[in-house]
Amino acid sequence: MLRYANPANFLRLAAVVIPWTGALAAILIGAGLYLGFFGSPADYQQGQTVRIMYVHVPAAWLAMFCYATMALSALGTLVWRHPLADAAQKAAAPLGAAFTFICLVTGSLWGKPMWGTWWVWDARLTSVLVLFIIYLGLIALWRTIEEPAKAAKAAAILTLVGVVNLPIIKFSVDWWNTLHQPASVLRLGGPTIHPSMLWPLLLMALGMTFLFLTLHLMGTRNEVLRRRLRRLSILATEDGEARPAAKMIRHGA
């Protein structure tokens, strides 16, 4: 994998991988939506509202997965000084914020008919809201600090501090008495969801994961190219300033 730490190698790899991951994402999401909305039954308690789950649960999973990806990239920035680490972390932040926003919105749409309210200060909901705020804070931090090296270090430190929120999100339903239902897919006793609902959910989760991978590769590639362009513009500016100075020296100024 260290071979692909080189930006040029990464760009070549991304050019090959992106069309395949994009196609897989489209196929899996299309199949998942079709089975979820037309091939699976309504829930005996939730009725048609249960279909929100096919978007809400994958979005929730990716909200956490994106942040875990950013945390690994932050380690790459601080510990190993991986040449692509900060670019990968910066590219993942808006994607994580988008998936977290989708999670919060779909959760509210589900909560209104089920709980009778759009929002409650439930432990799970509150911790996911904190995750969304952390994402926004990181995006703002990159935009505020102009020096790329300083911005990368500050964002990496903040990202690693925010990791403490991930286990809180995951285990909040076990640690506190909340309205949010406990895990029903990833659990020791096996899934409690009927296969007719489980398969569309798994297809959607896999499809949206490939969607994230595609967008993340594209975002990282764009960030690498943006930084190359920035370095070239700086070199061009320095070269343009050096030439008049050299002329002045030659003329004895």
Domain range annotation of the chain? 19-177+193-232
User: What's residue 52's pLDDT?
Assistant: 86
Assess whether pLDDT exceeds 80 at residue 110: yes
12: which residues sit within 8 A by CB, 6+ positions away? none
Give CA–CA dist 61/180, Å, rounded.
15
Work out the pLDDT band at 172, boundaries 50, 70, 90: confident
More confidently predicted of 42 and 157: 157
Confidence class for position 244, pLDDT limits 50, 70, 90: low
Q: How much is the average pLDDT of 2-26?
A: 86
Name which of 208-212, 227-231, 242-246 the model is least confident about: 242-246
pLDDT tens for residues 230-243? 878 877 776 665 55
pLDDT reading at 24 higher than 60: yes
Lowest mean pLDDT among 35-49, 106-120, 127-141: 35-49
State the pLDDT at residue 61.
92
Q: pTM of the entire structure?
A: 0.85
Q: What 3-state DSSP class applies to 185?
A: coil
- For position 249, what pLDDT does the model report? 39
* CA 157, chain centre distance (Å): 17
Give the separation between CA 135 and CA 137, rounded to whole angstroms. 5
**The two structure tokens encoding residue 76:** 């790459």
Q: Which residues pair with 47 in a beta bridge?
A: 43
Highest mean pLDDT among 46-50, 83-87, 169-173, 212-216: 212-216
Any alpha helices (H) in the chain, and if so which ranges? 7-34, 53-75, 85-115, 123-144, 148-162, 165-175, 195-250
Kindly state the percentage of the chain with pLDDT values over 90.
Answer: 45
CA distance 218 to 11: 10
Q: From CA 125, how far away is CA 68, in angstroms rounded?
A: 19
Q: What is the mean pLDDT of residues 179-196?
A: 59
- Calpha distance 132→242 (Å, rounded): 46
Average pLDDT over the chain reads 83
**Which class for 29: exposed (0-12), middle (13-18), buried (19 or more C-beta within 10 A)?**
buried
Quickly count: other Cβ atoms within 10 Å of residue 240's Cβ. Answer: 9
Q: What b-and-e string marks burial along 154-181, b requiring 16 or more CB atoms within 10 Å of the CB? A: bbbeebeebeebbebbeebbeeeebebe
CATH architecture of 19-177+193-232: Up-down Bundle (1.20)
Per-residue pLDDT at 188: 42
Residue 101's contacts (CB-CB under 8 Å, 6 or more residues apart) are 132
Q: Are 138 and 90 in contact (CB under 8 A)?
A: no
- Range of lowest pLDDT (107-111, 126-130, 213-217): 107-111
pLDDT band with cut points at 50, 70 and 90 for residue 245: very low
Of the listed ranges 37-41, 56-60, 175-179, the one predicted with least confidence:
175-179
Q: Give 24's contacts (C-beta < 8 A, 6+ positions apart).
A: 207, 210
How many Cα atoms occupy the beta-carbon half-sphere of 32 within 13 Å?
A: 26
Q: What is the pLDDT of residue 213?
A: 96
- What is the reported pLDDT for 5? 63
Distance of CA 167 to the CA centre of its chain: 17
C-alpha separations of 120 from 111, 135, 218 in Å: 9, 21, 36
